[in-house]
Chains A and B, each alone.
Chain A
Amino acid sequence: MSFLQINELHKSFGATHILKGINLEIEEGGFLVLVGPSGCGKSTLLNTIAGLEPITSGEIRINGNKVNDLHPSKRDIAMVFQSYALYPNMTVGENIAFGMEIRGVPKAERDKAISEVANLLQIGHLLDRKPSQLSGGQRQRVAMGRALVRDPQVFLFDEPLSNLDAKLRIDMRTEIKRLHQRMGTTIVYVTHDQIEAMTLATKIAVLKDGYLQQFGTPAEIYNDPVNMFVADFMGSPAMNLIPATIVTEGNRLAVKLDRSQREPVLLPLSAPPAGLAAFSGRNVVFGIRPEALTDPDGADRNASQLATSDCHIEVVEPAGSDTFAVTELGGKHVVARLRADANIKPGSMTPLAFNLTKAVFFDPESQNRIK
């Protein structure tokens, strides 16, 4: 049975419809990441779970109990805010204990809880400082400490890492994951960073314009995107979305990718998705991730559908661990991800292997996946 359940949730601010019928659920101990571009409603959704924003219609259940009308403090949740929201007039220790103080927990018990959390997060030496005397990473830890000390049923994180510099962000990401594995508490986490979403989540919900686009495991979201928006949003570098034509070659379907001043690339499909036959002779969008488009030596040897074609390399971008090459297909710049030591020169014709097992097709009109 699911632990946190959101049914047909609608939220409007006046005439503006922010959330348009969201259905989500996460099992106990799960890590749900809400991801989407800014303005998609993900923070609003988190605030409605917290009870900081009233909902217009629908239902939110935590551990089976309907919490729609409960005050935030009665929902047994804890929240970590983007700005950390540490009380500036209180020390770190007082910040962590404030909730307990309000609930009338005795001093001795409070001190014990503070020291436990401080040990867990290694902030013991900071307890007597004011938030203004802390660095960004330390504030982040204190904010998490304040949430942890409540021992809630659900943790809510609102873009907690977006104010940190790049290196610290990766460290804290690992730390959050480690904490989650250790505590096993259910977490709902909002981010606009798809890498954070992929690395942390057990389930990802992709939102756009107040609609839930797709809800699934990170692997499902990454490998089986339901539409072009999800395909484009998740993954870095982004999936190549190439205008293409489906043609029938003998009794087999093939993808034709036009190129300027060159022969089109023709990729035969041995196991196309069932819906693709109906698109024979029509335009589709051919989606292939950079790592599925590589030098033949570096291609996945287990791939059942591999097609190779000579491509004109326009730009080569060595990135240390990989080398990215840009070619032109269907009027788009297409990124291929090659081994770091791949011998490749800009301006040359180089064979690239298309791993068609990983390729996906979209209807250019509805933008939906062709299954």
Chain B
Amino acid sequence: MSVPSQDNAARTGLFARAIIYSALILFAVYYLLPLYVMLVNSLKPLDEIRQGNMLALPNQWTFEPWRSAWSTAQIGVSPTGLKPYFLNSIMMVVPAVALSTVLGAQNGYVLTKWRFKGDNIVFGLMLLACFIPFQIVLIPSARILGLLGLAGTIPGLILIHMVYGLGFTTLFFRNYYEAFPTELIRAAQIDGASFFQIFRRILLPSSGPIIVVTVIWQFTNIWNDFLFGSSFSSVDSIPITVALNNLVNSSTGVKEYNVHFAGAILAALPTLIVYIVSGRYFVRGLMAGAVKG
């Protein structure tokens, strides 16, 4: 008999299906519960939290904790809220992501289509950068930033994140371009296109999926970074992760848990949005290099 196997998830019995769905719902609740707790408590006055029921919906709905977290809460020594630090993070993340993605794409292009002697060694060394723990490079980085006069500035943080991200972005683009047909590059060479024209006109327009993957990856990593942010920033270049820590760990006054919850959600929001907007491209992009079209 050559009937194809019908034993797949879509055709299993009702009972099995009930089990699958219960498990899925259980895990969904398990993962969503913290978000729920953060959300409901950020919308309560502090008194209600003190009464102890973390899971209850607010009796009295209020956006005051959000407003406070954004613009008036005490962070370190000044009552500025998270707003300036949020802007710091944006000013750091956007250029760092853009630069590391563009440079990674060019590295990938050179390492696959303009092969040179020792290119595999260069690639191996760049790959190694993905495995270096952050802590090891702290002191050398501080020294270099000092020499460049970038210590404690946003451009300094951009530089550190860009260099650190390059290993990953190069890996992503190199593997993606490895499967890109070399004959296309040759055709463009015969058509007279230059090195950068080939990159810009032929390669980049076909790189959508891998660009999405790289941007999500870099954005999440750089936005969520705490170590570099706390090590290499000064008063006016503190990123939001460090500011959130300062908000939550402030040693004076009352612990305003509702403001802390609101602040934590604010700090996580951009990465959440990036995932929601382009998450489906992420999976598609990760698969794209795997199967040669």
Contacts and interface: CB of A to CB of B under 8 A. Distances in A.
Contacts of B192: 73, 99, 102-103
Contacts of A78: 190
A73 B202 contact: no
A135 interface: no
B269 to A, nearest CB: 34
A98 B188 CA distance: 8
Nearest to A87: B202
Interface in B184-200: 184, 186-193, 197
B181 A85 contact: yes
B202 A72 contact: no
A121 to B, nearest CB: 17
13 contacts: A50-B190, A52-B186, A72-B186, A72-B189, A73-B192, A78-B190, A79-B186, A79-B187, A89-B206, A99-B191, A102-B191, A102-B192, A146-B187
Interface in B226-245: none
Nearest to B193: A102
B183 interface: yes
A229 interface: no
A23 B120 CA distance: 35
A185 to B, nearest CB: 15
Contacts of B206: 88-89
B187 A81 contact: yes
B183 to A, nearest CB: 4
B119 to A, nearest CB: 14
A37 to B, nearest CB: 21
Given A50-B186, A87-B187, A88-B184, 5 more contacts: A52-B189, A72-B186, A79-B186, A85-B184, A98-B201
A156 B245 CA distance: 65
Contacts of B193: 73, 98, 102
Interface size class of A (residues with CB under 8 A): 20 to 34
B118 interface: no
B13 interface: no
Nearest to B186: A52
Contacts of B205: 89
Nearest to A132: B293
Nearest to A53: B186
A85 B201 CA distance: 14
Interface of A: 47, 50, 52, 71-73, 77-79, 81-83, 85-89, 98-99, 102-103, 146
A77 B184 contact: no
A47 B182 CA distance: 13
A52 B186 CA distance: 7
A83 B185 CA distance: 12
A99 B181 CA distance: 19
Most buried by A among B183, B188, B192, B202: B192
Contacts of A73: 189-193
A81 B205 CA distance: 21
Nearest to A104: B192
A143 to B, nearest CB: 9
B183 A72 contact: no
A85 B186 contact: yes
Nearest to B203: A89
A71 B205 CA distance: 25
A87 B189 contact: no
Nearest to B187: A85
A82 B183 CA distance: 9
A87 B187 CA distance: 9
Given A87-B202, A89-B206, A102-B197, A81 B186 contact: yes
A194 B221 CA distance: 58
Most buried by A among B188, B190, B197: B190
Contacts of A99: 190-192
Given A102-B193, A102-B197, A87 B188 contact: yes
A47 B205 CA distance: 26
A78 B192 CA distance: 11
Nearest to B194: A102
A79 B188 CA distance: 10
Contacts of A50: 186, 190
A50 B187 CA distance: 10
Nearest to B190: A72
Closest 7 CB pairs of A and B: A73-B192, A99-B191, A89-B205, A85-B183, A85-B187, A81-B183, A102-B192
Contact of B183 (A77, A83, A146): A83
A50 to B, nearest CB: 7
Interface in B165-222: 181, 183-184, 186-193, 197, 201-202, 205-206
Contacts of B190: 50, 52, 72-73, 77-79, 99
A141 B62 CA distance: 68
